[in-house]
Amino acid sequence: MNLDAPVASLRGVAKTYATDGGPVHALRGVDLDIRRGEHTAIVGGSGSGKTTLLSLLGCLDRPSAGSVAIHGVVTSQLDDEALASLRNEGIGFVFQQFHLIRSASVAQNVELPLYYRGVARAERRRRAAAALDAVGLGDLAQRFPQQLSGGQQQRVAIARAIVGDPHLLLADEPTGNLDAENAALCLRMLMADAAGDRTLVVVTHDLDLARRCRRVVTLRAGECVDDRVD
């Protein structure tokens, strides 16, 4: 695996979904390189293919055509175990809907990536506590998601995304379900965490959020129509 290669590299990527109403082309021949430490916003209207692009970057889906490489390794060449390992160690996800497990405590939710990495329980606890401290929720570790506000839940999701120390942080509309104050807070945390050489890719409708990223990629009808770097 080549760490000098772009963190993610898409070449001629297309994604087509088969639906009852016929095939839907979510992405059409997208070429894109995401470089280390870069903060990239992917913007576009509904149905432009933003979330599909994020799923492909996160190895949650496979392209219908073209190739996706993470650190130079083409993901279509990896089996399930290797892809899982890549997601676990290299990628952190933040979702619009937070996606916290209600039956698990805040700490257990944050520990989840470390659990699948086979990290010992005591070490998991320690690192989860540190991640929660980083998002200002150290004292809520034993609460359950439903006992938290939306803003707090998203901060827990951010803690879960960063606890495994991934190279690439992928956020899908991270502020979409938050009020302005919590959105700003979460955004600050994401940006602060990615201030080093961690790579951040954010899918958003929020132009204010997009403006804070150095690079903005615009998608329309599955095609990359603009790629601007400030």
Partner 1 sequence: MTASIEPRRAVVPFADQLADALREVRANALASLLSALAVTIATLGVLLVASITQGLGRSFERLAFSGGPVLTIAPDPRPSLSALRPTRRDYVALRSALPDARRVSLVQSLGTQTLASARATAAIPTVTADYSLFQTGRYDVLAGRPLVPSDGPEQRRVIVLDRAAAERLGLDVADVGSRIRLGGQFVHLVGLVKAKGLGADSSGGDGLAIVPDAVVPEASASPSAAALPLVIEVEVPPGADLDTWQARIGILLRRERNLAGAQQAGFAISSSERVRAGIRSTTALISLTATLLMSISLVVGAVGIVNVSLISVRHRYFEIGLRIAVGATHRLIMRQFLLENVIVAVAGALVAIGVFALLAAGANDLLGGVLVLDASPLVIGLAVLAAVAVGVVSGVAPALRAANLDPATALRT
CB of 144 to partner 1, least distance (A): 10
CB nearer to partner 1: give 31 or 165. Answer: 165
CB of 223 to partner 1, least distance (A): 20
CB of 126 to partner 1, least distance (A): 16
CB nearer to partner 1: give 78 or 191. Answer: 78
CB nearer to partner 1: give 28 or 71. Answer: 71
Give the Cα separation of 194 and 162 in Å (integer).
Answer: 9
Contact 129, 164 (CB under 8 A): no
Edge-first strand listing for the sheet containing 223-229 = 91-94, 168-172, 199-203, 39-43, 215-220, 223-229
CB nearer to partner 1: give 115 or 184. Answer: 115
Question: Which residues have a Cβ under 8 Å from the Cβ of 178 and sit 6 or more positions away?
Answer: 150, 151, 154, 186
Give the Cα separation of 17 and 219 in Å (integer).
Answer: 17
CB nearer to partner 1: give 115 or 138. Answer: 115
HSE-up (13 A, CA, CB side) for residue 220: 4
CB of 116 to partner 1, least distance (A): 4
Radius of gyration of the chain (CA): 17
Residues that bind partner 1 in the complex, under the rule CB under 8 A: 1, 3, 51-52, 55, 58, 60-61, 70-71, 78, 80-90, 93, 95, 97, 99, 101-104, 108, 112-113, 115-118, 121, 160, 164-167, 196-198
CB of 59 to partner 1, least distance (A): 9
What backbone torsions phi and psi does residue 6 show, to the nearest 5 degrees? -55, 145
Residue 146: count other Cβ atoms within 10 Å of its Cβ: 9
